[in-house]
Copies of this chain bind each other. A is one copy, B any other.
Amino acid sequence: MLSRRVVLPSLAAAAAMGAVGIAPPALAQAQTPLAAWSDGPTRQRILDFVKATTDQTSRDFVPAEQRVATFDQDGTLWVEHPMYTQVIYCLDRVPVVVKAKPELARAEPFKTVLSGNREAIAKLSLADLEKILVATLTGMTVDEFRGEVQSWLETARHPRWQRPYTELVYQPMLELLNLFRANGYKTYIVTGGGQDFVRVYAERVYGIPPEQVVGTAGGTRYGLGQQGQPVLIKDPKLLLNDDHAGKPEGIHLMIGRRPVAAFGNSTGDQQMLEYTTIGDGARLGGLVHHDDAVREYAYGPALGLPPTKVGTFTQALYDEAKQRGWLVISMKHDWKRLFPFDPPA
């Protein structure tokens, strides 16, 4: 666990920032904003930031067209354990791919995946994983891919909660998205996950339209199909690896503006938060800290736990967050409820 000594100074700083005598916020949102967030300095600092950047009389006012807020997805907007959802999708697709190309059944890494041996699957190398991604994410039209993901999302269930993955989104973050949008911000997902994958459900689940989803992206090949219809075939060529330094690069490519606020949960988001927060004017960075082993998971070296295959919140990142004034959002303490649904008692 993080020591109180480490946590307290940043809380004190946040509390001080929240107590500079601004009148009670009259934020443009019908109901109580951030209702699933505990009262406290984290919630207050977010409310103060949104108020300051949208109040024309504030020195931190940001013109409407520049109000861009970016959000990582895995571990920030939805659960990323025990594996990234998209990786589970790819593994689940392997039998279908092998059915179409039976010769793959005897080739690695497909043989291991088909064996269902979880331990062996967990040990697959990055190179193996890449073969699986290429086989399951490319070669079809973008429309076929969308249909395949949609079908999978309808039936796949998270092993712990036995619910569709798209229900395992964090209620506090949905409220945060809504708060920003209600105050004239454009909200973007900036994910290391596949852009085409996330776009399938982002509008329905997060209220974020496809054109505001920036993610790892491969090329497509355009042509006219056999019936003369336009088709775009998903290609293995990687155009954008939207993680780490690739996040600011992707933001420049796809948005062309520096965000005013950015939220993440791991070292993959470090450069996006630096890009967003270093500079003049009001800026807000936030990191979701998975420190709630009871309601969700607790992981990462910041908790003295071993690193995982998914997003890592390292001590170095924690130290940088403190130094740069980023919010460290404690899942355990800052969030009253985690999910839109009521968890089993």
Contact = CB atoms under 8 A, between A and B. Distances in A.
A279 B245 contact: no
Interface string A220-254: 11111000111010000001100001101100111
Query: How many copies of this chain are found per oligomer?
Result: 2
A63 to B, nearest CB: 11
A147 to B, nearest CB: 15
A223 B278 CA distance: 12
Given A211-B255, A220-B252, A230-B248, A203 B239 contact: no
Given A211-B256, A220-B253, A65 B248 contact: no
A219 interface: yes
Contact of A249 (B221, B257, B278): B221
A318 B204 CA distance: 41
A209 interface: yes
Contact of A220 (B209, B249, B255, B279): B249
A256 to B, nearest CB: 3
Contacts of A195: 253, 256
Contact of A222 (B220, B229, B249): B249
B213 A256 contact: yes
A248 B142 CA distance: 12
A195 to B, nearest CB: 8
A71 to B, nearest CB: 16
A232 B252 contact: yes
A275 B224 CA distance: 9
Contacts of A224: 274, 278
Interface residues of A, number: 39
Contacts of A65: 203, 209
A211 B253 contact: no
Nearest to A257: B210
A217 interface: yes
A178 interface: no
Given A229-B278, A230-B279, 11 more contacts: A196-B256, A210-B255, A220-B253, A221-B249, A222-B245, A222-B249, A222-B275, A224-B274, A228-B278, A230-B274, A232-B252
10 contacts: A211-B257, A213-B256, A220-B248, A220-B253, A221-B249, A222-B275, A229-B278, A239-B239, A239-B240, A254-B254
Nearest to A278: B230
A245 B221 contact: yes
Q: How would you classify the secondary structure of chain A's contact residues: helix, strand, loop or mixed?
A: mixed
Interface of A: 65, 142, 186, 195-196, 199, 203, 209-211, 213, 217, 219-224, 228-230, 232, 239-240, 245-246, 248-249, 252-257, 271, 274-275, 278-279
Contacts of A230: 248, 271, 274-275, 278-279
A213 B217 CA distance: 18
Contact of A253 (B217, B245, B252, B275): B217
Nearest to A239: B239
B254 A211 contact: yes
B229 A279 contact: yes
Contacts of A232: 248-249, 252
A223 B245 contact: yes
A195 B257 CA distance: 13
Nearest to A218: B253
